[in-house]
Each structure stands twice: as structure tokens, then as C-alpha cells.
Amino acid sequence: MNVKIKNRSQHAIANENFNNGNYQAALTLYMQILEDCRKVDHQIDKATQADLCNANLNVAKAHCMLYHSQQANHFCCQSHQLAKQLTDNHLIVAECHDCSGDIKRLAGRYCEALVEYQESFSTRISVKGEDNPSTAKSFNKIGKILYLQQKYNESLHMQQKARNILLLQVDNNNIPNIDIAEVYSDIGMVYMSQGNLLDASILFEKSLLVIIKILGENNLRVADIYNKLGSVYLMQNQLEEATAMFKKATNIINEIIGLNTLEAATTFNNFARIQLAQGKYDEAELMCSKSLSIQIVRLGNNHLKIAETYTTLSQVYKGVKKYNEAIDALQKVINMQRMILGDRHLIIAESYFNIGEIYDLQASYDDSLLFYQVCLKIRLEISGDMDENVAKTYHRIGLAQFSLGEYNNALNHYHHGLRCYLEMIGFQNLTVASLLNDLGFANQKLENYNEAISVHSQAISIQRRLLGQCNSSLASSYNSIAIAYQLNGNFNQAICMLQKKLKIQLVLLGKNDTKIANTYSNLGSLYQLQGKYVDALVMYKKCKKILLKVLGNNNIDLAESHRNIGFIYILQGRYDDAMSLLRQSLQIYYEKLGQNDLEVVKVYENIGSIYNCQRDFSSALGAYRKCLAIKLTLLGNSHFDLAVTYSDIASIYYSIAQFDQALDSYEKCLKIQENHLGLDHLQVATTYYNIGKIYYLQNKQDTALAMYNKCKNIQLKSLGEKNPTIAKLYISIGLVHVSKEQYEDAMLLYQKGLAIQIKYLGSNNSQTASTLSNIASVYKAQNKFDDAISLYNNCISIEEELSGDHHGCMIILYQNLASTYESCDKLDDAIKAYHKCLNIQQHLFGENSLHVASTFNDIASIYVKQSKHNDAAFQCEESIKILNKALGDKSLLVVTMYNKLANIYAEQGHIDKALTTLHQSLDIFLALRKEKSSKNETILFRDALECKQQFKCFDQMSLLQKTVDIQQNFLGDYNSLVSMSNHNSGSTYLAADRLDDALKICNKCLKIQRQILDDNHPALAKTYYKLGIIYLQQDNHKDALSMFQLSIDIQNRNDDDNDALLANCYQSIASIYKLSGNKTSAIMMYDKCLNIQKTLFGESYPNISEICQELNEIAITDSRKFYNIEKIISPQCEFYV
């Protein structure tokens, strides 16, 4: 047979194998053809030389498709050398450039490949022109490179040019070209990468029809299209359809070339992706291993195909939470990619992005941020700032910063990402909706609640338009906006949003699904915040019912439900019911998780709350210490979660006035927070705030202000000057000024805080109402009772509108209003306000709540003032009934109420009933005294004594000294409560005319006060005054004058120019001057006293006439000085000479 005829026959078979994807068989035949061509003297015949050139080129192409890069490059160079000698056949030179480009493309050297394709394009267009199938080939190859460089729009432009040229040829000849199938497939890949899955699927189907028509169904090109269609289905989460496509591809590959091939390895990787989506991680890992075992043998250790499989393997490891293994796999990927592609390539950027995602899952946000930033730098350098993947990276950086508490930085990156998305994909896109929701969360953290609500609303608008009214993503967004409304204090709107979410869930999931149970639980939390405990209980019980039906009665979620219901019972004062549920919750956690688990900690925290509410502070402290012990065991001694427990423990010490221990716990909390969050974090600011509150209660006002200022510096830096949190701080600083009786300074701060709250929260907001209430309290302290009453009523109107007329906050407002009415002797109005308070308490807490008992006591006090002793006695008796039922008959609160009731009986003249009641009180107290002696009981011990003094049932001095002894034992010598008891003891000795004992006790009180109070504290002025009275009664006028003057100096420094105590000091000094014969000075002191008393009490105040009588006596004893008196004294006195 002639060699050329033989070669033509072999060439046809080889081409058929090549077109069918059987590259190894094609290579064998091409090598035989090449050997035959080499035997011919190609120097004689140019046609033979061209055959040799083509034979080398075909061998190169086959090696290229088999990823034999070196061999492919060798034969391509041989062909290129021969082609350059064939001056009349320029297209074969173009083919050589294309082959060289293919070799470099498959090796990942995209820039070099693009140069080769562009050389080929220049040759083809010069020989054939632009509208030629040969030129279309170059357009498509350039488009491939642009696609791999993720320049999708440019790629699409090139490939569409190729398609249009080839379609023209089909129309002219009515014969499809196999090249059009490749173009369809490549355009489909671009669409798939852009997320345009419908169009991608259409193009793949078109490609498939052409290939089957020309080459038949049993072809590797068909298998390749099936793989691509499978990927589209996988991206649409249509797993069954995707599996069917991948199986078809596998069957074809197995029949043609077997499963130990690179094509099979690609399919194995695809199956791994399916199993990954199905959560079949073991099977997915096995498929990755099969793929790698083939690829490493065929391609060596460094190839982009291998990198793709390792990327899939990393996702498998991520799925089974083997995060370190996932990171190791991705590091291998990056090493390969950098070796092949260099340091700056979009594929490498994607791998950095993937590692960032793994670190996110490990909550290693500092590490994830680092990798996202490297990814962003590469993407910006290559793609510019208007790129969808750049937007995606900005978004992820923002999420990492959000998790690190860097909310302003997160907000900034979210806005960068949003601008990119809007430019690239427009507003009406689900990705934009997702970013808008994250923008909302950042604004929530920065307390920009109105802005948060706005962006969540935009996200909802997009989702409703694109997804319809009933979609799980829309339900999630309703949940997000509900949180924003909740934080903004708009609980009704928050509930409305959750109800919309619930409506969607009921349609999608049915009535019995754990997600619906979770929504009921969230609704319960909102009703709880509104103080609507009955409604909250209904929601929590619906949640519990579903959980019992779906999960059974021994499930961790049910344990949480028990805990939630238990917390409502705590708020309702149903402590036994709460404790029962919490113990059930604890039992489940013990069984499922063991005794040392963080869920167990949460239960102990609630149990601690119960003991705290019951004022069983010792048990509460024990519960919180259990929390601490578990956390120390599980987390070590420096974990961030310990800060919360130290804060809880500090709050207990705060409640029992063990301020030093509270400070110690807060300092531990602060140290952990500063180590984990840095010095300028908002949680650190909160702890400074709590420490400031303690110093405030210790009357260390300057130190309290220092702590508040540290808090302010951090908050101003993080939140800016105009922020509701800053407003809250201004109000706390205002309270310090109130305690120093610096009302004008306090009012300025309250007004400053109020202005911020009105601007950012609106006039009808619970925080705004709280500030108005504080301003009202200042008006009350300034005796501006009408202004105070007006503001309290304004606050009540706001809270009624926001939360209804039975919210817990209304209780405090009505109590404050009642107290103000009482202060200005509007006692009937006070009783009305207390009754409104009582109705709310009975509605929220039930008829037998301790809160209700307390209000009965308050009403009784008003009736006592009105001398309505029968009504007062009834209120006390009702209070005692509740206390006995709630606390048993051995409670110090019962002791106090018995004492009060005894007083009322005594006022009625029922001495026998009074004595009987007192003996009941004393029996309870003495029984308790034998059991234990705590700080709280010594305080009530002193209260119980006040009633018994009237009947002289026992030695009051002895009992007061017992009080002081117990307090010193528990609190130490230098404590405000010990000082108070000494002060009261001194008053008692003074009243009993035991002046030496009174002097000793008051000096002791003074010593304590000077240790714990500022030099200008009002309490010191009172003690100096009392010492002056004692010295005056002892006829020690010198020391008396000194004490009175010290008291006056403090009051003057505090600008207390119109204080009753100051008037008393002037009157006492006047009496000393009168006794010593210094009548002019006496008259001047009396005059100062008169001026103050007239300002405070008006001209009808009884003491004014008494002072005028004193002045008349001075005038009578020395008529020569009478004219001087007329000049000196104020005109309100009338003299009788």
C-alpha cells in the first residue's frame, strides 16, 4: 500500500479517536504516522514536508490533551520549525501558536497562552479575514483565557463573535461545525460562573445536540457536557438530576478509556461535590482520594487539576469540622497555584478567601481578616474596585470585623461592598439583600436603630419582589428587623415582624417544626420584655408543646424551653414553680451533657437569679460560684466568658452592699475584657460604668466620676457624641450630681442626654421616658412638685402608648408619682397613684406577690398620715397575709410589718393589740436571730427597734449597740451602714439626755464618715450640726460654735444657701451669741435663719414667730439697741415692746 494512502487511512482513524476524546489511541496512531513520514525524504517534496509538520503537530496536540506538557511542547516546537519553512502555508503556523497556547493554558500559564493565541489570531485574520471559521477559532481561544482570568464580560464578547461567525457558516452550508459545539459549551461556562444557570443550561444542551449529531452519543465530548450539566444542577441544589448527569459521564468514560484516567478523576471529583452537598462526608472523602490517586500519577504533584481536587477535599474537612486539615489542604492548593500561576492571580485570591472562611468557622476572626485582606488586595489589583468578587470580599471583611466588635470598620466595608454590587448587579438582587441585612446588624450594634430598620426594610422589599411573599429568606429578614425594632424599644412592631415570620413558617413547615418552636420562643421573649408575662408564658408553652411532640421529653431544646418558662415564673414571683422547671432542665443537661457543660452554667445562672430575687444572696452567690467553677474547668482562667460570671458575682456583692468584694469581681471582669477586647472596647466601658456605680453608692463621688469619665472616653471614641448610650451615661453622671445636691449640674446633664434620646430614639421612647422621670425627680428634690408631677404623667402617657397600661415600668412611674403627691401633701392623689400601681402589680405578678405586699405597705403609710388608722391597719394586714404566704411566718419583712401594724394599733388606742402584735414580731425576730445573723437582718433589727422604743419593752440603748456590733462584724468599721447606725444611736442617746454617750457615738460616726466620704459631703454637715447641739447642751459653747461653723462651711461650698439645716445652724449660733450677750451677732444670725426659712416655707412657718419672739426678748433687755435691730432684721417680724 502507498505510504500516503496508508497515512490518510490511519489519520482518519486517529482523528476520530481524538474527536471522541480517546487521546491515548489517537496518540499511538499519530506516532505511527509520524514515523512513516520521517522515513520519507521531506527535503525533496514540500507536500511531504507539510505532512511531517502536521504529524508533529497532531502528536503535540494529543500529548497536550493527555497533560504531557514536556512532550507536547517538544513536538509543537518541531512542527513550528517546519511550518516556518513552508512560506506558502501560514495557517499551519497559526495552528502551532494555538497548540502552544493550549499547552500553556492547561498548565495554568494564562498570560503566556494569551500571547500565543493573539499571535495565531493575527496570522488568521491576515490570511482569512475576520469573518472566517479559522478566525472564529482564535476568538474562542482568546475568550477561554479571559474566562479563566474571570474577565467574564470580555470573554463573552469574544466567544459571541466566534459563535456569530460559525452560525453564519452553518446557515450557508446547512452543516453544523463541531467548533460551534465547543463555543456553545464555553459560553455556557461563562454564564454558569456569572450565576446565570438557566442560560448556561440552554447553551450546554445546544452543544450536546451538535456533538451527538456529528460524533454520536458514545463520545468523551458528550461526557464533558454531561459533567457541565451536572454542575449546573448541583449549583441549583437539584442533587438527583446532578447525580444522573455525572453517572452518564462516568459510563461513557468507562466504556471508552476506562476509569483510571484523568477524565474519570474529574468525574470522581464531581461525585465528591454531590456527596458533600448531601452531607455524606465519608463517601466524598473517598471520591477525592480516588481522584487524587489518579491525578498525582498522571500529572505529578503540582497541577491545577490536583489543586481543584484538594479544594473539594478542604470543603469535606470543613463539613466534618476538621478545620486544621481543611486549612492544610488549602495551603497545598495555594502552594501549587503560586508555583504555576505566580503570586498574583484570581484563582489564588479565591483560595485565600476559602481559608478565611475556615478561620471564620473557628471564630479566629483576626486570622480570617488577614486572609480576606490578602484576597482583596489581589482582586483589586487585577479586577479593580468595581467587581462582583471584590464586593463579596468587602462583605466578608465586614463580617469578620463585625465579629471582632469593630462595628464602624465593618460598616465601612459593607458600604464599599454595596457600592460594588450596585454597580455590577444592580439593587434588585438577593446578594444585595443579604448585605443590606448585615448592614442592619452593624447599625444595631452601633445603636443606629432607625438606620438598621431602614436597611432591613430594603432587604425585605428586594426579597418580596424576587422570591414572593412566602420564602424562608424573607422569614429570616423579618426576624432581623424584629431584632432592630426590639432594640429600639418598639416591641409592638417587633412582635408584628415575628408574626409575619411565623405566618411564612407555618405555610412552609407546618405546625410542628422546631423552627416554629424557636419563633414562638422569640415572641415569648418580646412579650417578656413588654412585661406581658401571661402572653410570654403562652408563647413559651406553645414552643414547649412542639418540642415535646417532635423531640420527646428528654431533649436539650426542651431543657432550654423549661429554662425560659422558669424565667417567666421568676418574674412573676412564682419561685417554687421556676425552681421546679429549672431543676428539670438541669436534669436533662446532666444526662445529655454531663455536669460540667456551659448549658448547665446557664441554668445555674437562672437559679442564682431566683435566689437573688428571694434576697437569699448567700445561695445566689453559691449558684454563681458553681457557674464560675464549671467555666474555669472548661475554659481556663482567662477565657472571655468568665467576665460575665465575675460580673454576676459582683452584682450580688453589690446587692448586699459588700462593695469591696463587688469591686474585686468587677476588676477581674475588667482585666479579662481588656485582655480579649483591648482598652477601648464598649464592654470595657460598661464595666467602668458598673464600677462607677459602686463608687457612687460608697459616696466616693469623685472616684465615681473618674470611672464614668473613662467609660465616656471609650464610648465617645466608638460611638460618637450623639448616641443613646452616651445619653445614658450623661444621666448616670447627673445622678452623681444629684447625690451631691448639685441639682443645676444634674439638670444640665439630664437635658443633654434627653436631647440625644429625642433625636435618635424619638419623643415616644422608653429610654426618653426614663430620662424625663429623672428630671422629674430633680424637680421633686427642688420642691418643684407641680413640674415633677407633670413630667411623671408625661412619662406614664409615653409608656402606655409604647407598651400598654400594664407594663412593668409603669409600676415605678406610679410609685414616683405617688411619692411626689405625698411630698406636697396631696395624699388622696398619692393613694390613687398607688392603687394604679397595685392594679398593674396584681395583673403582672398575681395577687400574692411580694410587690403587691410592698404597695399595700405604701398605701398604709399614707393612711397613717391622714389619721385613717382603720384603713391603714387593713392595708398592713393585707401585706402581712401575702408575706406569710410567700415567705412563711419567719421573715424579717414580716417583722417590719408587724411593727408598723403595732404602731397603728397604738395610735388607735388599742394598746393590748399593739403589744400582742409587737410580741409576735419579737418572737419571729428572736427565732431568726438564733438561726443566723446577716447584714440584712441587722438593718431590719434597727427598724424593728423603732416601734419597740415607744413602749419601752426593752432597753433601746442595748439593742442599738447590738445592731452596731453585728454590722461591724459583717461590714467592718468603715462602712456607710455602720455610720448610719452610729448616727441613729447618737440621736437616741441625745434624746435620752445621755450627752456623754451621744458625744462618743457621734464622734465615732464622724470618724467613719471622714474615711469613706468626700470632705464636702452633706452627711458630714449633718454630723457636725449634731455634735454642735451636744456641745451646746453641755454648755461647751466654744466647741459648739466650731461644729456649727464647720457644718455651715460645707453647706456653703455645696451652694446650699437655702437649706433647712443651714437655717438651723444659724439659729443655734444665734442662741449661743444671745446667751453670751453678743446681741448684735445674735440678731444677724437670726436674720439669716429667717431669710432661709421664709424662702423655704413661707411667712406662716411656725418657727418664724418663735425667732421673732427671741428678737423681742433681745430688744426688751436692751432698749438702746432697738433702733439697730430695726435696721438689721428683715421686715417680716412684728415687735411687741
Model confidence over 785-835: pLDDT tens digits?
999 999 999 999 988 888 777 777 788 899 999 999 999 999 999 999 999
In angstroms, the first-to-last Cα distance of the chain is: 162
Spatial separation of the C-alpha atoms in residues 159 and 152, rounded to whole Å: 10
Spatial separation of the C-alpha atoms in residues 1038 and 492, rounded to whole Å: 68
Is the pLDDT at 10 greater than 60? The verdict is: yes
* Listed range (34-38, 244-248, 272-276) with the worst mean pLDDT: 34-38
Give pLDDT, residue 174.
64
Rounded average pLDDT over 83-95: 80
* Listed range (129-133, 203-207, 353-357, 811-815) with the worst mean pLDDT: 129-133
Is the pLDDT at 952 greater than 50? The verdict is: no
Give 387-406 pLDDT, tens digit per residue: 888 999 999 999 999 999 89
Share of residues in the chain with pLDDT > 90 (%): 40
Count the Cβ atoms, other than its own, within 10 Å of residue 361.
12
- What does the chain come to in residues? 1137
Give pLDDT, residue 552.
84
Give a yes or no: residue 691 inside a domain: yes
Contact (CB, 8 A) for 1061 and 741 = no
Give pLDDT, residue 876.
92
pLDDT classification of 932: cutoffs 50, 70, 90: very low
601: left (phi > 0), else alpha (psi -120 to 50), else beta?
A: alpha
Contact (CB, 8 A) for 1111 and 1094 = no
Domains held by the chain: number: 1
Give a yes or no: residue 656 inside a domain: yes
CA 299, 303, 304, 308: dihedral to nearest 10 degrees? 70
Give pLDDT, residue 970.
40
Share of residues in the chain with pLDDT > 70 (%): 89
Spatial separation of the C-alpha atoms in residues 557 and 565, rounded to whole Å: 13
Radius of gyration (C-alpha) of the chain in whole angstroms: 44
Give pLDDT, residue 1058.
59
The CATH number covering residue 694 comes to 1.25.40
DSSP assigned state of 1022: H
Spatial separation of the C-alpha atoms in residues 17 and 24, rounded to whole Å: 8
What is the number of alpha carbons within 13 Å of residue 86 lying toward its C-beta?
Answer: 24
Is the pLDDT at 45 greater than 70? The verdict is: no
Give a yes or no: residue 674 inside a domain: yes
Give pLDDT, residue 15.
83
On average, the pLDDT of the chain sits at: 84
Give pLDDT, residue 540.
94
Give 679-688 pLDDT, tens digit per residue: 988 889 989 9
Give a yes or no: residue 814 inside a domain: no
Is the pLDDT at 654 greater than 70? The verdict is: yes
pLDDT classification of 744: cutoffs 50, 70, 90: very high
Give 996-1038 pLDDT, tens digit per residue: 877 887 888 888 778 777 788 888 898 899 899 889 888 898 8
pLDDT classification of 855: cutoffs 50, 70, 90: very high
Which grid coordinates are listed for 45?
Answer: 517534496
Give a yes or no: residue 648 inside a domain: yes
Give 153's contacts (C-beta < 8 A, 6+ positions apart): none
Instruction: Between 76 and 340, name the one with better pLDDT.
Output: 76
Rounded average pLDDT over 206-214: 92
Element (H, E) at 527: helix 514-529
Is the pLDDT at 951 greater than 80? The verdict is: no
Rounded average pLDDT over 169-182: 74
* Listed range (61-70, 860-869, 980-989) with the worst mean pLDDT: 980-989
Give a yes or no: residue 673 inside a domain: yes
Give pLDDT, residue 907.
81
Rounded average pLDDT over 1071-1100: 82
Rounded average pLDDT over 836-860: 89
* Listed range (3-12, 142-151, 1040-1049) with the worst mean pLDDT: 3-12
Give 484-517 pLDDT, tens digit per residue: 998 888 889 999 999 999 999 999 988 888 889 9
Give pLDDT, residue 88.
66
Q: Where are the alpha helices (DSSP H) in 909-1017?
A: 911-931, 935-951, 956-971, 976-991, 995-1012
User: Which residue reads 408598723 in cell numbers?
Assistant: 900
Q: Which residues in 1091-1117 are b (16+ Cβ under 10 Å) and which e?
A: bbbbeeeeeeeeebeebbebbbebbee
Is the pLDDT at 44 greater than 70? The verdict is: no
Give a yes or no: residue 1090 inside a domain: no
* Listed range (42-56, 60-74, 339-353, 471-485) with the worst mean pLDDT: 42-56
Contact (CB, 8 A) for 914 and 950 = no
Element (H, E) at 661: helix 659-677
Element (H, E) at 360: helix 346-361
Instruction: Between 327 and 958, name the one with better pLDDT.
Output: 327
How far is it between the farthest Cα atoms of the chain? Answer: 163
Give pLDDT, residue 676.
84
Give pLDDT, residue 929.
59
DSSP assigned state of 1078: -
Q: What are phi and psi of 1034, to 5 degrees?
A: -85, 5
Residue 677 domain boundaries: 637-704
Is the pLDDT at 1125 greater than 50? The verdict is: no
Give 566-619 pLDDT, tens digit per residue: 988 888 878 889 999 999 999 988 888 888 888 888 899 889 988 887 778 889
Is the pLDDT at 971 greater than 60? The verdict is: no
pLDDT classification of 723: cutoffs 50, 70, 90: confident
Give pLDDT, residue 275.
92
Contact (CB, 8 A) for 346 and 386 = no
Give a yes or no: residue 654 inside a domain: yes
